Structure 1
Amino acid sequence: MNNVLYPYYSIKLWTDSAIFLIITFLLILLTLFSNNQPFGIILAFFLIVLTKNRIKRTIKNLYRNLKNQPAIELTGAYFFDHINNIKIYWHNIDKLSVISIRGNTYVNFILKDKIEYAKQLDGFLSKILFKLPNPEEIAIKTEISLVKGRNEDIYNSIYKFREAKKLYNFQTNNSTKPA
């Protein structure tokens, strides 16, 4: 199976990133220079801590877009979401679906082993969410509205890759079993 690479949808990526970065930096600056000191400095510090990983990820995605690197990569072994810097192995995906949240389209993954996924997360809050007693309700999703192409075609390609991998594993497992 050949690798499939999907580039970023530049206009949406740059628009969403600019809005996020401008609002975040304005909030930080407004709290830093507010009249309610030292509360403003403390609040600005917490805003920086909470948004640090998202700011890094946004800048990384803008850089990857400028370098014409892919947003999503499908290989024989895994689905690599460069947007969130997450690798999901095909054997770990139980179900796939498409969801829409506030005008953005996502591929929603239901995983067999969420601990394998959680090890890749950066950020204190993200890791804590997966240590809660019932992390099954936490959505694992990739925003495909940031990827160039029709959302349905991208989802279908991901689905076909997963199904082909399941079929290959099924055939391999059955051919190696003794009769």
Structure 2
Amino acid sequence: MDNLLYPYYSIKLWLDSVIFLIIAFSLILLTLFNSNQPFGIILAFFLIILTKYPIQKTIKNLYRSLKNQPAIELTEAYFFDHINNIKIYWHNIDKLSVISIRGNTYVNFILKDNNEYAKQLNGFLPKILFKLPDPEEIATKTEISLVKGRKEDIYNSICKFREAKKL
């Protein structure tokens, strides 16, 4: 099988990203300039720590979208989620499913070895969430509503690549 590259769905990516960045920076600035100091500065510091990785990820995805680089990539050896910068090897996938959360569509991966996945996680919050009970529901999903194309076709392509590697 040849590698498959799926581009970003630019309109949704840009809309979601702009809304997120405006809200994140507004909250940080509002707490920073709060009249209850030093509480506002301390709260702004914690907000910066919590939003550092999501802001970096958002800016990276916007840049990749401008450069027409793929959002997800299917190769002979792995599924590469450029949205989250995660590589999932086909041999590590136990089950696949499609889930919908608040209007967004995700491919949910149930993995054989969660540690292989956890080593790739960036950011403080994802690492903490992954240590909670039942981390498959939290950490191993890729938002395909940010990917251009029919969601069913994208999911079927991922399943075909996985099945080809199982044989």
Q: Name the TM tier (shorter chain).
A: over 0.9
Which residue of the partner structure matches residue 83 of structure 1? 83
Structure 2 gap ranges (5+): none
Residue 95 of structure 2 aligns to a residue whose secondary structure is: strand
Whole-Å separation in 2 of the counterparts to 1:144 and 1:76 = 20
Superposition pairs of residues 36-75 of structure 1, within 5 angstroms? 36-75=36-75
User: Contact 2:121/2:127 (CA < 8 Å) preserved in 1?
Assistant: yes
In the TM superposition, residue 126 of structure 1 has moved relative to its aligned partner by 1.9
Residues 105-144 of structure 1: per-residue CA shift (max 9 Å, x gap): 0000000000000000011232233344654554410000
Aligned residues: 167
Q: Structure 1 residues 133-142 or 72-81, which shifts more? A: 133-142
> Which of structures 1 and 2 has the bigger CA Rg?
1
Which residue of the partner structure matches residue 102 of structure 1? 102
Residues 17-46 of structure 1: per-residue CA shift (max 9 Å, x gap): 000000000000000011111111111111
Which residue of the partner structure matches residue 164 of structure 1? 164
Whole-Å separation in 2 of the counterparts to 1:142 and 1:131 = 19
Which residue of the partner structure matches residue 118 of structure 1? 118
- State the identity %: 86
Residue 40 of structure 2 aligns to a residue whose secondary structure is: helix
User: Contact 2:130/2:139 (CA < 8 Å) preserved in 1?
Assistant: no
Whole-Å separation in 1 of the counterparts to 2:129 and 2:14 = 29
Residue 79 of structure 2 aligns to a residue whose secondary structure is: strand
RMSD: 1.2
Whole-Å separation in 1 of the counterparts to 2:21 and 2:136 = 31
Residue 70 of structure 2 aligns to a residue whose secondary structure is: coil
Superposition pairs of residues 149-160 of structure 1, within 5 angstroms? 149-160=149-160
Q: What TM-score results when the alignment is normalised by the length of structure 1?
A: 0.90
User: Contact 1:31/1:44 (CA < 8 Å) preserved in 2?
Assistant: yes
Whole-Å separation in 1 of the counterparts to 2:45 and 2:119 = 26
Superposition pairs of residues 15-54 of structure 1, within 5 angstroms? 15-54=15-54
Structure 1 gap ranges (5+): 168-179
